[in-house]
Structure 1
Amino acid sequence: MSTLFAFLHHVCAFTLVSAVAIEFALIRGELTLSSARRLQVTDMVLGIAAGALLVIGLLRVFFFEKGADYYWHSHAFITKFSIFIVIGLLSIIPTVEFLSWRKAIGEGQVPAISAKKLHLVTAVIHGELLSIVFILLFAAIMARGGWV
């Protein structure tokens, strides 16, 4: 069972990384009706992957791996988990923006986004990408039993 949950954890993580990369590519280009729709769908996939990753990860912590005591006493795990939570909360910013486009997209119009809002959404997506690098670093440290 532990192997299955490890596999599911990795599938969700790779899906999340792929979705962030797609958002990164789409937000850098000209906003069109097609790219706006793709951003909405990609953001939904990202949210589902993040939610599943969190649930599966916590199931692994409490039921399938070394035990909660091990993880909650690991500075590397706490740092990794904290980064995941903080960036997850920040990712609400692009999600709210993309959801606000529903009416315009439904009417076949390109959504309007101010330069300031676009900059903020882009900065959050860049932060998501950067946070992935740090999460991977702390996961490697944790897996090797370091920084306890």
Structure 2
Amino acid sequence: MIQDAILAAAHYLCILLLVTFLAIETALVKREWMPLAAAKLVRYDALYGLMAVLVLTTGLLRVFLGAKGAAFYEHNPVFHAKVTLFIAIGLLSIWPTLRFRAWGKAAKADPAYAPPEVELRKVRRVVMVEVHLLALLPILAAFMARGIGMQG
């Protein structure tokens, strides 16, 4: 029981940190924060990526070592939807990550560098899509935890 509580707490903490770093990215991907934000975005995005890995890791630990057992998750279509959505968000974040790294490199070479306005808007749009999709995960989690969608 204690192990399950520790795994849940670790998972929730990682989720909160992931949301925090994504919120910071969202705030920094604006014209008024450039060029200062270019290098910071690289760091915060790396932390966002690390938290995504830790969310996935702690989630898998909960599946295999948690109180409900792997069978509960294996046959839960809402769990599969939740994991698929989380992976989709991760894949969606690749392009902003590549842009942040390019901006950071350019800012190192030229401290006055600011990305083109059009590119900045496109990256911000993708980050905002990530934010909105991420907001669906707790809804799926609530349904999943209650066995909604399970057959039988």
Question: Structure 1 length as normaliser, TM-score?
Answer: 0.90
CA distance in 1, matches of 2:110, 2:75: 52
Query: 2:92 corresponds to which residue?
Result: 90
CA distance in 1, matches of 2:25, 2:66: 32
Relative to 1, partners in 2 of residues 1:146 and 1:6: Cα closer, same or farther, differing over 3 Å?
same
- One of 61, 64, 77 as aligned partner of 1:62: 64
Counterpart of 1:53, as a letter, is: V
Query: 1:3 corresponds to which residue?
Result: 5
Query: 2:134 corresponds to which residue?
Result: 132
Question: Structure 2 length as normaliser, TM-score?
Answer: 0.88
Q: Does 2:98 correspond to 1:73?
A: no
Task: Give the superposed CA RMSD.
Answer: 1.6
Q: Which is worse superposed, 28-37 or 67-76?
A: 28-37
CA distance in 2, matches of 1:34, 1:115: 15
Q: For structure 2, which runs of at least 5 residues remain unmatched after alignment?
A: none
Q: Percent identity?
A: 37
Query: 2:42 corresponds to which residue?
Result: 40
CA distance in 1, matches of 2:67, 2:73: 9
- Deviation readout 1:11-49 (Å, 9 max, x if unpaired): 110001111111111113424232112211111110110
Contact 1:31 1:110 in 2 (8 A): no
Q: For structure 1, which runs of at least 5 residues remain unmatched after alignment?
A: none
Structure 1 residue 100 displacement after superposition? 1.2
SS at match of 1:66: coil
Query: 1:121 corresponds to which residue?
Result: 123
SS at match of 1:15: helix
CA distance in 1, matches of 2:133, 2:95: 16
